[in-house]
Amino acid sequence: MASAIVLIFVLSWFYGVFLETWMNGQTFGKRVMGLRVVSVDGRPINASQATIRNFLRIADISPLAPILLDESTGAVAYVIPTFLITLICMLMTKRLQRVGDLAAGTMVIVNERRWYPKNIVLEDPRVAPLAELIPANFRMSPSLAKTLSLYIQRRSDMSSGKREEMAAWLATPLIKRFQMLPDTSKDLVLCSLFYRDFLYDFPHDASTISSNPESSPE
């Protein structure tokens, strides 16, 4: 009985804190539902933010409605969370934030999965770190996603110079938007964007993109 109480306590108070910190704003449930917690500026949340938003869950589920066991004595059997505070708070904020989100400076976003080309291999170790510089709230339009996917599929047939030339028109404005160094490789920016949006959190441990899994790195 004691161990069950301890387990319930740990899961109630630390499950969300631990997973949202180490899984880039996701718990197992959020991952299944395609959701992610990010900072309001689009950056990944840190441990302090995860702690604040999860520990303030008690405020979000309030007020609690008591269920009486015996009306004559007023004994309470258990309480039911009404979530009225959460509902009111979300209706009054443009980002649909609850109390914990307002205190932590976070918000929940939809982490969409789009169609992506198959047999893509990532071999360049610079791709994954560069992808971390892309704001978490950046979402590609359908036309940008299709254009990027087409480029990634065909880039293995191009020379390095041709890749930079072809990628420049699409990557140049993105470099400014993401506040990357001006001399950042245009091809590498598109590779990192593809990795972030299509391959991140998938069971791949890789980092240059080639459309042929058997091709050797340049």
pLDDT tops 60 at residue 207: no
In the chain, the number of structural domains is 2
The answer to whether residue 165 is domain-embedded is yes
HEC states along 106-165?
EEEEECCCCCCCCCCEECCCCHHHHHCCCCCCCCCCHHHHHHHHHHHHHHHHCCHHHHHH
Longest dimension (CA), the chain: 84
Q: Are 6 and 101 contained in the same domain?
A: yes
pLDDT tops 50 at residue 92: yes
Q: Are 37 and 65 contained in the same domain?
A: yes
Q: Are 105 and 136 contained in the same domain?
A: no
Highest mean pLDDT: which range of 143-147, 157-161, 194-198: 157-161
Q: Are 88 and 51 contained in the same domain?
A: yes
Q: 50-73 burial string, b = 16+ CB within 10 Å, else e? A: bbbbbbbbeebbeeeeeeeeeeee
pLDDT tops 90 at residue 15: no
The answer to whether residue 187 is domain-embedded is yes
How far apart are alpha carbons 150 and 201 in whole angstroms?
Answer: 22
Q: Are 153 and 63 contained in the same domain?
A: no
Boundary (domain end) residue, out of 54, 85, 110: 110
* Token pair 């932590």 in the structure block, residue: 104
The answer to whether residue 218 is domain-embedded is no
The answer to whether residue 75 is domain-embedded is yes
Instruction: Give me the domain span that covers residue 90.
Output: 2-110
How far apart are alpha carbons 3 and 211 in whole angstroms?
Answer: 51
Q: Are 71 and 25 contained in the same domain?
A: yes
Closest C-alpha to 200, from 24, 9, 15, 13:
24
Q: Are 95 and 161 contained in the same domain?
A: no
Q: Are 28 and 127 contained in the same domain?
A: no
Boundary (domain end) residue, out of 77, 110, 143: 110
* Token pair 């609850």 in the structure block, residue: 98
- Stretch 210-216: mean pLDDT, rounded? 37
The answer to whether residue 145 is domain-embedded is yes
Q: Are 101 and 126 contained in the same domain?
A: no
Q: Are 131 and 84 contained in the same domain?
A: no
How far apart are alpha carbons 147 and 169 in whole angstroms?
Answer: 12
Higher pLDDT, 26 or 9: 26
Boundary (domain end) residue, out of 110, 145, 171: 110
Which tokens go with 211? 């459309």
Which tokens go with 190? 């598109």
Residue-wise pLDDT for 108-137, tens only, equals 988 655 555 556 766 788 988 998 888 878
Closest C-alpha to 189, from 204, 200, 175:
175
Q: Are 30 and 80 contained in the same domain?
A: yes
pLDDT of residue 136: 79
Q: Which pLDDT band holds residue 81 (cuts at 50, 70, 90)? A: confident
The answer to whether residue 85 is domain-embedded is yes
Q: Are 55 and 126 contained in the same domain?
A: no
Higher pLDDT, 60 or 74: 60
The answer to whether residue 60 is domain-embedded is yes
